[in-house]
Each structure stands twice: as structure tokens, then as C-alpha cells.
Amino acid sequence: MSLIIGIVGNNAQAEEHADALAGLPADRVAAIRCRPEDLDQLLQRTDVQAVDLCVGLPAQTELGIRVAKAGKHVIAALPIASSLTDLHALTSSCHDVGVRLIVTGTAEYSGLMHALDNALASGQIGVPVALRLVWIEPANLENVGTFDQELFCLSARALYIAQHIFGSTAERVYAQRMHGAEAGKNSARYTQLMLTFAENATAVLELRCGADNHNYHMLMLLGTQGAAYYSQPEEGVVLTGSHSHMIDAPNTPASVREWQAILKSIQSGERAASNSHALVECLAATMAARLSYERNEAVRPAELVQQGILS
């Protein structure tokens, strides 16, 4: 029997998700498109098991709670919520009703992360020591409305990747922003984050949105046993250890593999691709970055949680 997923939203993210679902076998899944204002009608349909929210922040959190209370699985994009309080409200709603919160936009299924995960698991890189991640993309303001929100979401995605690579939460986050002509309306288009992990391992994230027409991604990961490099669009992932070699990307597109995992998660009852602990860690680090910029000082994400600074 086919699984029916409601896709809420009319933006580029909704188009991408619909395209990805269309690439899966029709006997496994079908998608129904829906405008946000028509959500109640969608929730009344008994044949819809899950709802994919492509509405951005902050609407995503509020709509997610309504979806959960209707007894349907919630599919939402990082960073899920704008505050730990909102995140807790959504995860609690899902838990109380017994539906799952499934996260998209983590980049876990990208060719880059596939290659890095394999290299880390096989010991080719060893313990990660220093990461530099450059993530530049055109603006996508239809989701979030402001550059500040856009940077918040971009920061969350990059922080999720960094913490995934290091396998732990950043102990300190130090954030800076670019000003001047790059500044958008009352906010900046560029931020750089410096993370410190255990044993003084570090990550530098350069994040920029909407500055020009270019996509540019670069990664340098230095580990105790080897190093990995990635530049897009110029080349794929290269590992350097005893010898250098390219890592092949998987043939299946990342979006399709991500949705395959989502379907498997829904149908098997296994835990979703991203667990709630990782979501809290990601959002705490993202909020720490925002607070660090405001304070002009490094901020410990764990202290935000301990001190109850949740929004």
C-alpha cells in the first residue's frame, strides 16, 4: 500500500521535495501538494500519514504541532524551531501523540557527507582535528523572509554537519558577521563561526547567502591519520593519507536517498534519520552563535541549556 505524504508550501523546497518523491516508486509513496492555509483540510484526510512542512520559520513549528496533534508524522527542515522552547513544544507534541518528527535538510545524504562518513568510519582520517567549511549560496528568502533568518537556518545546517563530523557538541561557539555593503535590511548576509571541541579541535564555518549568483562549497578536514578536501563545483572529495584518491559519490541523488530513508523510518517504526538529541545540540549551538555575535564573546551551548536560556 502506498504511503501518502502531504507537502505543505509553494516554495522551492516544496518543489524539490515533490520532485524527489516523484522519483520513488509510485506503489510506495504518493505526494499531495497543499497550501499552508489549507492545512486543516489536509489533516482531515485519513489517507495522509505524514506531512512535510516547507514553510520555513517560524511557521514550521506552529504548523508542526497541529500536524502532530492530528496524529500524523511531522517532516520538517533544520533547524526545526527558532528557540529551544519551541523545539521542546514540538517534540513533546510528537511524543505525546506517538508520531515521529523527521528532519530534512541535514545534508547527511549528500555525496560529500557520504564520502566523509565512510572515510571517518574506515579510519582513513582518524580523529578530526580541524575543519574549514565554506558554504555560499544564493538567497532563498521566500522561506524565511529576512537575511537574519536565512543565516540562522544556514548556520544550523552547517553546525549540524560540523557536530556530525566531530561526533560531539561544540564546547564553545564564537560568531562574527560581515557588515558594510554586504549588509541586508537590518541584518547581514555573511557570518563566520569558530567552534571549539574537546581537546581544542576546531572548526571554522564561512557562511554567506544572497551575495551573488554563485554556489560555492569548500571543505578541508584535517585528522590525525589523514585529511579530506572538497571543492564544489570544481571537484569531488579527495582524501590524503598514505596516498591521495578521489572518493566516488553515490549514484543515487541525495534527495532521493534522503526520502528513501524517511520512508523507511516511517514504515519501519525506526527512529528518524536525525534524533532529537542531535536537534537540541544543533539548535543550542545555533542559538549560541546568535548570542555570541550579540555579546561579542564566545558562548558555550551547553550553558544555554543548563541556564534555561531557551529562546
Partner 1 sequence: MTEQLGVLLLSCVRHQGYYAPLIAKHTRLRIAAVADEADLPERWHTVNREFAAQYGVEYIPDVAAALARPDVALVSICSEPTRHAQLALKAARAGKHIWVDKPMAITMEEADALVNAVEAAGVRFTYVHFLYAPMIRHARQLIERELGSPRAIHADFVIGRGLQSGTVEDFRLVVDPKLSGGGEATNLLGYTVDYIRYLAGADVTQVYASMGTHFFEPHREFNVEDLATVALTLQNDLVATTIVGRAPTMRAALGDFGLRIYTDNGMVALDHNQPRLSVYGSNETAPRGMPFYEEPGDDAVEPLLDAFVDCIINRSEPLRGVRDGRRLIEILTAAYRSSASGSAVHVPLVN
The least distance separating partner 1 from the CB of residue 116, rounded to whole angstroms, comes to 15
- Cα 200 from Cα 161, distance rounded (Å): 18
The least distance separating partner 1 from the CB of residue 302, rounded to whole angstroms, comes to 13
The residue among 160 and 190 lying less far from partner 1, judged by its C-beta, is 190
The least distance separating partner 1 from the CB of residue 61, rounded to whole angstroms, comes to 31
Q: The sheet that has 237-240: what strands, in order across it?
A: 172-177, 190-196, 202-209, 128-137, 216-223, 227-232, 237-240, 244-247
The least distance separating partner 1 from the CB of residue 179, rounded to whole angstroms, comes to 4
Number of residues that this document lists for the chain: 311
Please report how the helices 147-166 and 276-295 are oriented relative to each other, as an axis angle in degrees rounded to 10: 120
The residue among 216 and 252 lying less far from partner 1, judged by its C-beta, is 216
The residue among 5 and 299 lying less far from partner 1, judged by its C-beta, is 299
The residue among 222 and 272 lying less far from partner 1, judged by its C-beta, is 222
The residue among 160 and 174 lying less far from partner 1, judged by its C-beta, is 174
What does R_g of the chain's alpha carbons equal in angstroms? 19
Contacting positions for partner 1 (CB under 8 A):
127, 129-130, 132, 134, 136, 172, 174, 176-182, 190, 192, 194, 196, 199-202, 204, 206, 208, 211-214, 216, 218, 220, 222, 224-227, 229, 231, 234-235, 238, 240-241, 244, 296-298
The least distance separating partner 1 from the CB of residue 289, rounded to whole angstroms, comes to 12
Residue 250's SS3 state is coil
Cis peptide before 233 (omega within 30 of 0): yes
CB atoms within 10 A of CB 134: 19
The least distance separating partner 1 from the CB of residue 264, rounded to whole angstroms, comes to 36
- Amino acid occupying residue 288: A
- Cα 123 from Cα 120, distance rounded (Å): 5
The residue among 236 and 253 lying less far from partner 1, judged by its C-beta, is 236
The least distance separating partner 1 from the CB of residue 236, rounded to whole angstroms, comes to 12
The residue among 178 and 273 lying less far from partner 1, judged by its C-beta, is 178
The least distance separating partner 1 from the CB of residue 168, rounded to whole angstroms, comes to 15
The least distance separating partner 1 from the CB of residue 194, rounded to whole angstroms, comes to 5
The residue among 25 and 180 lying less far from partner 1, judged by its C-beta, is 180
Cis peptide before 128 (omega within 30 of 0): no
Q: Is 244 left (phi over 0), alpha (psi -120 to 50) or beta?
A: beta
The residue among 8 and 175 lying less far from partner 1, judged by its C-beta, is 175
- Cα 121 from Cα 6, distance rounded (Å): 36
Residue 248 is classified by DSSP as P
- DSSP of 33-89: EE-GGGHHHHHH-TT--EEEE-S-TTHHHHHHHHHHHTT-EEEEETT--SSHHHHHH
